[in-house]
Structure 1
Amino acid sequence: MQGVARFDRRTKLLVQRLHAGDIAIIDHPDLDGVAAEALADRQIAAVVNLSPFITGRYPNAGPSILLRAGIPLYECHDSNLADAVQEGAKVTISGNTLCLNHLPEASFPLQRLDEARVQQLLELAQQRLKSELRAFAQNTLEYLQEESDALLDVLAVPEISTPIAGRHAVVVVRGERFKQDLIAIRNYLREMRPVLIAVDGGADALLEMGFHPDIIVGDMDSVGDKALRCGAELVVHQYTSTERVSPGLERVQRLGLPHKVWRTPGTSEDIAMLLAYEKGAQLIVAVGTHFSLLEFLEKGRRGMSSTFLTRLRVGDKLVDAKGVSQLYPKRFAWREFGWLFVAALTPVVVAFLLSPIGRDLVRLLMVWLRLRLHF
């Protein structure tokens, strides 16, 4: 197998540069489902991971998604590959070895993961899930008191020009099946024309579907330049737990884009919902948001105190559309197709019967029927 190699330690940034047939080189322990779906959508030839696809902490969905898409998975435990590979250089995978075409003497051993091995690792991880849940719950309780004051008191929400009061607001997050859920509520988006609040990469998905985000909230590290420049208001999330300037803030400043900074605890999807709530949204529809243990573990979070508090605060207006695409999946309706076929065929039959040839055929048929009935 040969292909162009592309490497990035942040999978969500790498996805933006991948093309069909590329070989993606990542450094992503416990590859999550959202990242795997993004890789699969690029129709790449293979994925080489410098970290274990499954560490055993919890049963992550990413490897199974890629295998179902027919994408081979390899692990490489030689960290020198990250320094040796060049962006856009061709590499060859032969058996369990990766070779750099521009450095024939450089080769790196690989370990391929097939479906049987992935299933075995997932079963072992499932056995450890109870201890992870206990630690997750403990961390949540510890941070609950610390973050409750900041999230339940009066919030210093930045001023924005997009009118939200009295309108519906849709918060779009890059979560599991979020694109399918967006498609499922597409008619609602067109008819109600709600305020579209995208969280980071959710803005790219909205643009792909032909919708224009009104506001983009987040640390701005995984949203494309096209989305940043689409004219949406930008609210950069600056965490209170660090004095370090957000990489996203540096990015929008470098691009010369107008923006607001909101320094507050919690996740970016939390503050997106709080923004809609505090600005008077009549209804808040959440698409792709995270709320389960596995989803938080996949995001690398050790607790969910801020999300718990946020949902307590906005719960009276919140409608979670997560998974709505699975409620009534579209099926091919043969009955509807049959009526459509009859409707299309009717004018053709009528026109034929009114033609001279059609009338002659009808007369012949009538004569034949009389003869059959007579004898």
Structure 2
Amino acid sequence: MRRRENGSTLEGTPRARRFFRRRPRGSIVGTVRIDRRTKNLLHRIRPGEIAIILHDDLDQVAAEGLLERGAIAVVNCHRSITGRYPNAGPLVLARANVPLIDGVGEEILEHVNEGDTLSIIGPEVFCREQLVGTGTLLDGEALERSLADAQAAMGEELERFVRNTMEYLQVERDLVLRGEGLPELKTKLKGRAAVVVVRGHEYRQDLRTLRPYISDMHPVLIAVDGAADALLDEGLKPDVIIGDMDSVSTNALTCGAEVVVHAYPDGRAPGLDRVQALGITPSILASAGTSEDIALLLAYESGSDLIVAVGAHDNLVEFLDKGRNGMASTFVVRLKVGPKLVDAKGVNRLYRSQVRTRDILLLVAAAIVAMAVAASLSPALRLWGQNLAAWLRSVWRSIF
């Protein structure tokens, strides 16, 4: 039985036979959720379910989102590692022992519907006792080989990155260098610190670590799209929400925060209708950059004296994760706001307080000794202790 180059289908096998093999035993079984955009799928998938995605170069944030939502397996119709660069998403799933069936092909969508029950064994996917797709189980040697090949191809991607950066500067030079076109926020940032929260790697952990700073300094909280919900989950209310509004909840949009809708360069703003339907009058900013970049630029140009970035993208692989259209803008914007920028990414790993069991036992023992000494020196406490002991003995005798 032959496969295509991406290992996605069974060439030469008649369609009727290909999809009518019996399901082997011992498979992973779960309800399936399907979406062409992984970001949208995260709103619907529940713990114990299987995700079918169409995601070239599965990025780290998307993979972490699938884990956070409790996916037990992921079926990718596309190639999770195309070879452009060593994206970390598949590695995140592998380390969590969540199977990733790669390159299954979009043909599977003709045979599987949202809510169906899927069974997975090895690289094969079954639905209603029939084989509906075969791909590559991306783990172990297959994963290492794919990542090694992608690492070797980084030179070409770096050249694309440089060209994309120059193109972006030509288009958005006035916005980046002089802040032209940025809306004037009602929220005052001049002379205040701002915390910009982005749905990036370990952003929730870093946000929790920063809670003491937020409580003490009361910075302006700027959330990029769905990060507004993360703030609310931590008991914090965002002051400003910026984004195309495709991943933020209605609850977050109506929490009282100022809203800035990110539009395409031609003025189209897909999220505008949703915001206006909620009775909110937002500011609108058209830009070829990302919502993360707009948030950083707004904080900088509005006079914030310190910008703390949580979950922001800060390295080449993460720039590439965002796609060629977005990676150059982040690189350039970080150069612009650098003098005021404090990147809090990974701050949760700097120090983690760990209370050892031995320390707790010593503390309890010291407390008992102190109470015993106090009781021996105080007649009142000694009498109270004697009465307590007598009462415990009487209770014991009445039971036994």
TM class, shorter-length? 0.7 to 0.9
Instruction: Choose 350-359 or 75-84, whichever is displaced more.
Output: 350-359
Q: Distance in 1 between matches of 2:226 and 2:173?
A: 27
Query: What is the aligned partner in structure 2 of residue 27 from structure 1?
Result: 54
Deviations 1:19-69 (A, max 9, x none): 110011111111111111111112222111111111111111111111221
Structure 1 residue 338, shift from structure 2 partner: 5.4
- Superposition pairs for residues 40-189 of structure 1, below 5 Å? 40-101=67-128, 104-105=129-130, 107-189=132-214
Moved more, 145-154 or 265-274: 145-154
Change (3 A) 1:246 1:322: same
Contact residue 34 and residue 62 of structure 1 kept, 8 A: yes
Q: For 1:82 and 1:249, how far apart are their aligned partners in 2?
A: 31
Return the letter of the residue paired with 2:309. A
Please report how far the alpha carbon of residue 85 of structure 1 lies from its aligned counterpart in structure 2 after TM superposition: 2.3
Give distance in 2, aligned partners of 1:85 and 1:347: 68
- Superposed, 1:1-375 pairs within 5 Å as 1-101=28-128, 104-105=129-130, 107-240=132-265, 242-243=266-267, 245-301=268-324, 304-333=327-356, 336-337=359-360, 340-350=363-373, 355=382
Name the CA shift for 1:65/1:164 in 2 (closer, same or farther; >3 Å).
Answer: same
Q: Distance in 2 between matches of 1:348 and 1:63?
A: 56
Is contact 1:140-1:302 (8 Å) kept? no
Does the 8 A contact of 1:152 with 1:309 survive in 2? no
CA distance 1:72–1:126, change in 2 (3 Å): same
Change (3 A) 1:330 1:126: farther
Corresponding letter in the other structure for 1:174: R
Structure 2 letter corresponding to 1:329: R
2:124/2:131 contact within 8 Å kept:
no
The RMSD of aligned alpha carbons is: 2.5
Contact residue 289 and residue 326 of structure 2 kept, 8 A: no
The gaps in structure 2 that reach 5 residues or longer are 1-27, 387-400
Whole-Å separation in 1 of the counterparts to 2:121 and 2:325: 39
- Structure 1: give runs of 5+ residues left out of the alignment: 360-375
SS in 2 for 1:169: strand
How many Å separate the matches in 2 of 1:91 and 1:252? 37
Checking the alignment, whether the CA contact within 8 Å between 1:150 and 1:265 is kept in structure 2 is no
User: Is the CA contact 1:46–1:73 (under 8 Å) kept in the aligned structure 2?
Assistant: yes
TM-score by length of 2: 0.81
Identity of aligned residues (%): 50
Letter in 1 for 2:180: L
Deviation at 1:237, TM superposition (A): 0.8
Cα distance in 1 for partners of 2:153, 2:328 equals 22
**SS of residue matched to 1:316:** helix
**Shift of residue 305, structure 1, vs aligned partner:** 4.1
CA distance in 1: counterparts of 2:353 and 2:160, whole angstroms? 40
CA deviation map 1:192-237 (0-9, x unaligned) = 1211000112112111211111111011112222222222111001
| Contact 2:203-2:311 at 8 Å conserved across structures | yes
| 1:348 Cα deviation from its structure 2 partner | 4.5
The whole-number CA distance in structure 1 between the counterparts of 2:329 and 2:298 is 14
Residues 166, 71 of structure 1: CA spacing in aligned structure 2 closer, same or farther, 3 A cutoff?
Answer: same
Shift of 1:106: 6.2
1: distance between equivalents of 2:328 and 2:58?
24
Q: Is the contact made by 1:137 and 1:303 (CA closer than 8 Å) also made in structure 2?
A: no
Q: Matched residues in 2 for 1:107 and 1:201: separation?
A: 34
CA contact 2:195–2:309 (8 Å) conserved in 1: yes
Residue 175 of structure 1 deviates from its aligned partner by 1.3
Is the alpha carbon distance of 1:347 and 1:45 closer, same or farther for their aligned partners in structure 2, counting shifts above 3 Å? same
After TM superposition, give the deviation of residue 304 of structure 1 in Å: 4.3
Taking structure 1 as the reference length, the TM-score comes to: 0.86
Q: CA offsets per residue over residues 297-335 of structure 1, 9 Å max, x none? A: 111125644334433433332212122222223334567
The 3-state SS of whatever aligns with 1:59 is coil
Q: SS at the partner of 2:42?
A: helix
